[in-house]
Amino acid sequence: MSNQHSLPHDGDSAAVAAERGPTRREEVVERERDRFGGFKWGSAFFGWLTATGTAVLLTAVLSAIGAGVGLGAADGDVQSAADDLTSNADTVSVIGAVALAIILFVAYYCGGYVAGRMARFSGVKQGVAVWIWAIVIAIVVAIVVAVAGAQFNVLGNLNSFPRIPIDEGALTATGIVTAIVVALISLGGAVLGGLAGMRYHRRVDHAGLGR
C-alpha cells in the first residue's frame, strides 16, 4: 500500500520529477533566446523614433507648463534651457537642467521599452542599440550640416532629444561634462526600458508555459 501512495497516478498532471533541473519553460525560452537573441537593429531604430518623439512632446508640454506658471527662461523654461544646452551648456539653469535630465531619461526609457518589447530578448542589448542609433544619427546629421549647411539640421530645428547636445563650436569643460552626463542618463534609461520591455514577454511565457 505504501508503494501505491508513493507512485503518481496515471493522468496526474501535477506530478513532477524528483530530480532538479531546468523547467520546460526555461528550456523553451533558452532555445528561443539562442535563436532570436542579440542586437535587433530594426527594433532599436523604432525605439529611437519613440525616444525622439517622446522627448519632443515632453519638452513642449513642460515648456507650456513653465510658461503657464510664470517661469522665465532663467528659472525653468524647458524650451529655452534646451536651446541653451545646444548652444552653450554654461547657461543652463539648475531647474532647466533637471527637467532636461528627466526628459532624456523618460524618452530613452520609452525608446528602450519599445525596442525590448519588439525584440523579445536581450533587453540590455536593445537599450544599448537604441542609444547607439541616437549617436549614429546625430553624427550623420552633424556631417550633413557641416557639408550642406545649418538648414539641414533637422534634429536641431525640432529641438528634439535625444541627440548630441553641443553645437559644432569648441567644447568647454562644462560642455564636456554635460555631454557625458547626457550620455549616461540616456543610456541608463534605454537599458532599463529595454529590460522592462523584455520582461513583458517573460510574463507571457510564464502564463503559457507554466512555472
Whose cell is 512632446? That residue is: 57
Does 98 or 162 have the greater pLDDT score? 98
Confidence of residue 188 (pLDDT cuts 50, 70, 90): very high
Tell me, what's the pLDDT at 199? 86
Return phi, psi of residue 62, to 5°.
Answer: -65, -35
Kindly tell me if the per-residue pLDDT of 3 is higher than 80.
no
- For residue 73, give the C-alpha cell: 527662461
Tell me, what's the pLDDT at 87? 52
How many helices (H) does the chain have, and how many strands (E)?
Answer: 8, 0
Strands annotated E in the chain: none
The percent of residues above 70 in pLDDT, for the chain, comes to 60
Confidence of residue 151 (pLDDT cuts 50, 70, 90): low
Confidence of residue 154 (pLDDT cuts 50, 70, 90): low
Does 197 or 90 have the greater pLDDT score? 197
Q: Is the peptide bond before 162 cis (omega within 30 degrees of 0)?
A: yes
Tell me, what's the pLDDT at 180? 82
Alpha-carbon distances, residue 111 vs 101, 104, 107 (angstroms):
15, 10, 6
> Per-residue pLDDT averaged across 36-61, rounded?
89
Confidence of residue 75 (pLDDT cuts 50, 70, 90): very low
Domain boundaries, the chain: 41-209
Q: Is the peptide bond before 8 cis (omega within 30 degrees of 0)?
A: no
pTM across the whole model: 0.70
Alpha-carbon distances, residue 21 vs 16, 18, 26, 62, 74 (angstroms):
11, 9, 10, 52, 61
Tell me, what's the pLDDT at 203? 81
